């Protein structure tokens, strides 16, 4: 099976996977209003995917619809054999690719030996890539990681180890684990990463501090990248990848309500949730992080946002916004 990555027009642009953000409701807004070239799921534990008890819960994060292709399932863990089995499961679910998270800086993930903890275990990281390929039934296997754990000068050895395992694509968030997002992304190091990737014939995507499609295009051209991944720049902006910037306030608020209604339908205590996910719900409070993203940039925004933070349902959100637009 040919990798879909090789068939994409270059440069291509990707919506970054973000935990408790890039759920189905969020991705659907992008699929409808400004679809990127590739979508990723939230990351899913291979431990959960390979256990009968865990499967019922994590399958919720792997739900997608036909309008999201090409879509990649992102997974995390520390056991190569579980990656092999999880890859087979993902292939059977109809995904276009599998991505291994080797960059998450969350402490709970690191304590499991997963995410960016693997930066300190390059031999294990390579075994995980090999095992995932073995179970993937021909689907492309990519890796998303960071420059290093504590220092940027870990980059050469760490990325060199990953590239030697020949993933179908490498995405690098150009910060270290310790830096989180507290410092500017190290775009000055990208030329060296590009050189390493080309020497290993692995397509390269860079992630970090890109906020607009125009900026993504400029950086892709400047550095000779296969693609650019955008995360925080996508918050509250499902039109991002369309390049459209003249979105009216009324349209923004309408799409926010649309997203919240879909979230509630999928993840609330609904018949749809019970049918799709066996009653495994999500807290409505997850949606509140999106209020600030959609509602900013005009004088009345803070007051509206404050009112919405008290809402506990899509109906309450809709009522508050309707009243706001009438005044």
Catalytic residues: 104
At residue 55's C-alpha, the angle toward residues 277 and 166, to 5°, is 120
Query: Helices in 24-121 by DSSP H: which ranges?
Result: 24-33, 46-49, 52-58, 80-92, 107-111
Question: Around 248, how many Cα atoms within 13 Å sit in the side-chain half-sphere?
Answer: 4
Is residue 38 within 8 Å of 72, Cβ to Cβ? yes
In this structure, what is the dihedral angle of CA atoms 311, 315, 321, 325, given to the nearest 10 degrees?
Answer: -150
Distance CA 271, CA 269 (A): 7
- Decide: helix, strand or coil at residue 28: helix
Distance CA 62, CA 74 (A): 9
CA 290 to chain centre: 16
Is residue 236 within 8 Å of 3, Cβ to Cβ? no
- Decide: helix, strand or coil at residue 78: coil
Which tokens is 293 given? 């993203």
Distance CA 103, CA 120 (A): 11
Of the candidates 215, 249, 252, which has an alpha carbon nearest to the alpha carbon of residue 235? 252
At residue 78's C-alpha, the angle toward residues 165 and 83, to 5°, is 65
Distance CA 110, CA 171 (A): 19
């Amino acid at each position: 099976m040919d990798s879909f990555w090789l068939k994409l027009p270059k440069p291509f642009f990707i919506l970054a996977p973000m935990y408790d953000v890039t759920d189905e409701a969020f991705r659907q807004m992008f699929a409808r209003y400004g679809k990127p070239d590739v979508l990723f799921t939230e990351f899913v534990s291979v431990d959960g995917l390979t256990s009968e008890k865990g499967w019922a819960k994590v399958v919720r994060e792997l739900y997608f619809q036909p309008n999201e292709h090409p879509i990649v399932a992102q997974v995390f863990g520390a056991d190569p054999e579980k990656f092999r089995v999880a890859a087979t499961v993902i292939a059977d679910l109809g995904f276009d690719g599998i991505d291994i998270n080797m960059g998450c800086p969350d402490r709970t993930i690191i304590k499991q030996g997963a995410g960016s903890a693997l930066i300190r275990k390059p031999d294990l990281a390579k075994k995980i890539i090999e095992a995932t390929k073995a179970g993937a039934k021909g689907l492309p296997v990519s890796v998303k990681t960071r420059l290093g754990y504590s220092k940027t000068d870990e980059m050469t050895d760490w990325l060199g180890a990953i590239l030697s395992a020949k993933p179908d694509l490498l995405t690098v968030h150009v910060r270290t684990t310790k830096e989180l997002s507290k410092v500017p992304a190290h775009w000055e190091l990208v030329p060296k990463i590009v050189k390493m990737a080309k020497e290993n014939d692995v397509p390269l995507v860079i992630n970090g501090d890109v906020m607009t499609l125009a900026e993504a295009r400029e950086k892709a051209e400047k550095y000779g990248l296969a693609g650019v991944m955008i995360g925080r720049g996508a918050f509250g902006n499902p039109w991002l990848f369309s390049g459209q910037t003249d979105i009216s306030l009324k349209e923004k608020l309408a799409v926010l309500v649309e997203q919240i209604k879909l979230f509630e339908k999928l993840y609330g205590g609904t018949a749809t949730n019970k049918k799709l996910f066996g009653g495994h719900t999500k807290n409505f409070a997850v949606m509140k992080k999106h209020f600030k993203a959609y509602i900013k940039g005009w004088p009345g925004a803070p007051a509206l946002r404050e009112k919405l933070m008290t809402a506990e349902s899509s109906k309450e959100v809709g009522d508050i916004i309707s009243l706001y637009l009438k005044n």
